[in-house]
Structure 1
């Protein structure tokens, strides 16, 4: 039944079926002795009305021509009802289509035909003037209905356009969210892999150098490599789950509570100082602080001499998180063979920007390097 209703709504000609029924059933208002075969001739008005939606001007001209033929013939002249109704229908169609100028021309022709009919055939009635102006409300109603349906169609089109724009905007926002998520995951992958691979490569090189002098150190180094590799695989697996599942899988993520393990993993002399309470802070902010420390330590492993020492300080307040990672200059030559993608500082800057904070990086006066970052919790977007 629902399909039938939808189909019927698409068939615009079916809306006119009651109108066609009126044309067929509208009784002639002339003398009864006249033949019904002659009275059926005005039904030809139905032919142009069938095409009034597709060719409104042509239909209007044909209807006016038909009314001229009816009103100038004594046999059909008194069948006025269908003539006036046909003219009102084409006037409505023109106004509904927004063709007001042509509608005015047709309305003037209709008024002229009514005047001609009144003074030609209306003189037989008691009040020919009334027969002339009596159809004016019909034309006014046809014009008003045309304006109403035109306004309604315009409103429907505007609503459809707004709905389409809203859908397009939603789709664009979805694409932007996907792109942002891909960027975030790529940044996470960079941080995880850069730090872990740096630790693994440096410890592997150290194990090669110490294998003949300190076998126990080799075992400890290999343990560090194993733990680092397993940790990297676990984080990569977690990121892959995020890509396939969604938001609920994103917890647990690395937090500041794991900073000590991160520092111990470096294989360098690095001290950690944490002040304040992180329990009430957003988990996402704690994650960003963790990643900033991780990236700063990765840069230390890549660019600082092997004997350089480091210091990590993280301070939590209700409104901000302060992160500072420094390292000394050291005296030994910098280890080679650790390429840099150049994304470390850029990644840290993006993380700080998420929380409308600030990032300060640069060499220290006595040698070494400093990374300082501030995340503003209250201003986070």
Structure 2
């Protein structure tokens, strides 16, 4: 059924078949003077209706001209029903296609032709005024139907635009989410890899065992990063269903261990009751804070990660000391880290505060509202 509707929309002439049938079957004025062929000529005046959608104004003028020819001819004058219906059709067509001013002109012409017909032929009837007025509801209905279908098309177009805007917004939001995820994964992992590679380079002549452990960390971090990137690519190809499983707070200890710094982890409360999406946001906030520590804090700086489950909130705090070692060569920064954390916190109506500490360190404090 749906395919039939689509096909008919593409072939509008099929919708007009009932209308053409009405014109053909409408009782003509075959009785009277003149031959059959002469009396059938008004049927030719209806042919422009076939292209009324493509040339609405031209067809309207031709139909009015044909109606005038019919009403001024004594042989054709009583073929009024077909003529009035044809004028109603073009009036409907003009209104539906938003040619209101032109439709008003055509409506005025229809009234003038109606008065002309009544003045010439209605005196023979019992009630000329009724004869004139009786045909007006047809044209009023044509105008009203034109307005109705025009409004319906406008509403449909607006709904399509709204749906398109919502789709675009959803795509933009998804792109932002994936970009944020990529930033968190790549920035953290590459920072850990670069930091450990530099450490291994410095220790390769003094302590080969340290180099081996450092290389193991690099390999492990690289494999995890590849796994995360693969998961994000699966999201791109498979959609929402491919988003599980996600990193959770249960993996925080491993994340802290990969940092290559002296960082303590303190988790209080019950993490099991935390929604998976909120757990992911908390994990990413900790990950980004540790990434900033790796990038900007001196090599001997120590850190502390505290995650507290205090319904209805999750409180996250990541701090690091100032350290005394000379600052390492700065790693490249995208500038998206803090912005990404702000976005994650806003998703859960929480609060984010960041800033330096008196000892030269840095503090990131965030809260997520996960329940009432």
Which residue is 2:138 aligned to?
145
Structure 1 residues 222, 58: CA separation in 2 closer, same or farther (over 3 Å shift)?
A: closer
CA apart distance, 1:5: 11
Show structure 2 runs of 5+ residues with no match. Answer: 53-57, 95-102
CA apart distance, 1:346: 1.9
CA apart distance, 1:245: 1.1
Pick from 281, 292, 310 the counterpart of residue 288 of structure 1: 281
Equivalent residue runs for 1:1-381 within 5 Å: 9-10=13-14, 12=16, 15-22=19-26, 24=28, 26-28=29-31, 37=35, 41-51=38-48, 54-70=58-74, 81-82=78-79, 84-85=80-81, 88-89=84-85, 92-93=88-89, 96=92, 97=94, 98=103, 99-115=106-122, 118=123, 122=124, 130=126, 132-133=127-128, 136-137=130-131, 139-378=132-371
Cα contact 1:95–1:147 (8 A) shared by 2: no
Name the SS for the 2:349 alignment partner: coil
Could you give the per-residue CA deviations for residues 73-123 of structure 1, whole angstroms, max 9, x where no partner exists? xxx5xx8743x43554455457545432222212221221125xx4xxx5x
Name the SS for the 1:341 alignment partner: coil
Backbone CA RMSD of aligned residues = 3.0
CA distance in 2, matches of 1:310, 1:136: 96
Name the SS for the 1:245 alignment partner: helix
Name the SS for the 1:307 alignment partner: coil
CA apart distance, 1:221: 1.4
Structure 1 residues 7, 254: CA separation in 2 closer, same or farther (over 3 Å shift)?
A: closer
Which residue is 1:126 aligned to?
none
Structure 1 residues 61, 36: CA separation in 2 closer, same or farther (over 3 Å shift)?
A: closer
CA distance in 1, matches of 2:274, 2:117: 80
Structure 1 residues 109, 315: CA separation in 2 closer, same or farther (over 3 Å shift)?
A: same
CA distance in 1, matches of 2:333, 2:48: 74
CA distance in 1, matches of 2:222, 2:133: 85
Name the SS for the 1:339 alignment partner: coil
Structure 1 residues 315, 55: CA separation in 2 closer, same or farther (over 3 Å shift)?
A: same
CA apart distance, 1:63: 3.6
The TM-score, its normalising length taken from structure 2, stands at 0.83
CA apart distance, 1:56: 3.6
Could you give the per-residue CA deviations for residues 236-283 of structure 1, whole angstroms, max 9, x where no partner exists? 111111111111111111111111111111121111111122222221
- Tell me which structure has the larger Cα radius of gyration: 1
Structure 1 residues 102, 292: CA separation in 2 closer, same or farther (over 3 Å shift)?
A: same
CA distance in 1, matches of 2:173, 2:90: 52
Cα contact 2:64–2:109 (8 A) shared by 1: no
CA distance in 2, matches of 1:290, 1:185: 15
